[in-house]
C-alpha cells in the first residue's frame, strides 16, 4: 500500500449535485473503489485560475493509501470525473469534478520542472507546487510533506506560491 495525496476540486453543479456534494461523493466513491482515505482536509473556496467569468472553486485534498499503481489510479479518477458529469472542455475551464494525483508514495515520473509532456502521467503533479489552492488543503492532511522532485517542504512552497514565485 502506497501513501497518496489526491486533490479534489469543483465549481459547477453536476450529476452528483453541488460542488461540495461532488467532493463528498468523490471521497465516498474512492473508498468504495478500495482507496483507503485516511484524512480529508477542510474545504477551501478559491478563485478560478486561467479563465475569467466562472464560479469560484471548492478544493480539498485527501491523504489515502492504495495498492493501485499510478496508471490504474489515474483511470479510476478519470472514471469518477466522468460519472460526476465532467466532459471534455477548455483547459482550466469550469467543471463538476476534478481529481488529480498530487503524490503517489513519493514517486517521480515524467516530471520536468519546466512543464508538461502532453499525454504523460506526471508525478508529482506538475503544477501542485505553484498552486495555493492545492497546497493549503494538502498541508491540512500532510503538514510535513516534502515535494519529491523539488525536495522542498510544502510550507515553503505555499509561502512561495502566495508571493507569486
Superfamily name with CATH number, domain 2-162:
7,8-Dihydro-6-hydroxymethylpterin-pyrophosphokinase HPPK (3.30.70.560)
- Catalytic residue check, 83: no
Rg (CA), the chain: 15
- Catalytic-labelled residue, pool 15, 25, 51, 98: 98
Q: What three-state secondary structure class fits 15?
A: coil
Domain layout of the chain by residue ranges: 2-162
Residues 15-61 have pLDDT tens digits of: 999 999 999 999 999 999 999 999 999 999 998 887 667 899 999 99
- Catalytic residue check, 95: yes
- Catalytic residue check, 160: no
- Catalytic-labelled residue, pool 25, 86, 103, 131: 86
C-alpha cell at 58: 471548492
* Pairing, β 146-147 against β 98-104: unpaired
Rounded Cα distance between 76 and 146, Å, is 25
| 93: pLDDT strictly greater than 60 | yes
Query: What pTM was estimated for this model as a whole?
Result: 0.92
Residues 95-138 have pLDDT tens digits of: 999 999 999 999 998 876 555 555 678 889 988 999 999 999 99
- Catalytic-labelled residue, pool 32, 36, 75, 95: 95
Place of cell 469518477: 80
- The predicted pLDDT at position 47 comes to 87
- Catalytic residue check, 56: no
- Catalytic-labelled residue, pool 100, 107, 117, 156: 100
Rounded Cα distance between 131 and 140, Å, is 15
Contact 137, 145 (CB under 8 A): no
Contact 56, 48 (CB under 8 A): yes
Rounded Cα distance between 43 and 15, Å, is 20
Task: Give me the helix-helix angle, 19-32 and 70-83, nearest 10°.
Answer: 140
- The predicted pLDDT at position 164 comes to 64
Amino acid at each position: 500500500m502506497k501513501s497518496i495525496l489526491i486533490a479534489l476540486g469543483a465549481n459547477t453543479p453536476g450529476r452528483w449535485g453541488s460542488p461540495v456534494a461532488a467532493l463528498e461523493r468523490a471521497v465516498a466513491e474512492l473508498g468504495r473503489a478500495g482507496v483507503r482515505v485516511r484524512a480529508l482536509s477542510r474545504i477551501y473556496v478559491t478563485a478560478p485560475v486561467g479563465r475569467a467569468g466562472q464560479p469560484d472553486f471548492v478544493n480539498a485534498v485527501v491523504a489515502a493509501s492504495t495498492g493501485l499503481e499510478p496508471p490504474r489510479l489515474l483511470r479510476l479518477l478519470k472514471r469518477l470525473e466522468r460519472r460526476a458529469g465532467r466532459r471534455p472542455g477548455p483547459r482550466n475551464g469550469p467543471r463538476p469534478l476534478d481529481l488529480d494525483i498530487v503524490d503517489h508514495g513519493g514517486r517521480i515520473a515524467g516530471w520536468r520542472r519546466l512543464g508538461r509532456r502532453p499525454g504523460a502521467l506526471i508525478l508529482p503533479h506538475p503544477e501542485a507546487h505553484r498552486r495555493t489552492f492545492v497546497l493549503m488543503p494538502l498541508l491540512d492532511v500532510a503538514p510535513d510533506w516534502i515535494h519529491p522532485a523539488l525536495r522542498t517542504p510544502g510550507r515553503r512552497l505555499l509561502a512561495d506560491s502566495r508571493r507569486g514565485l
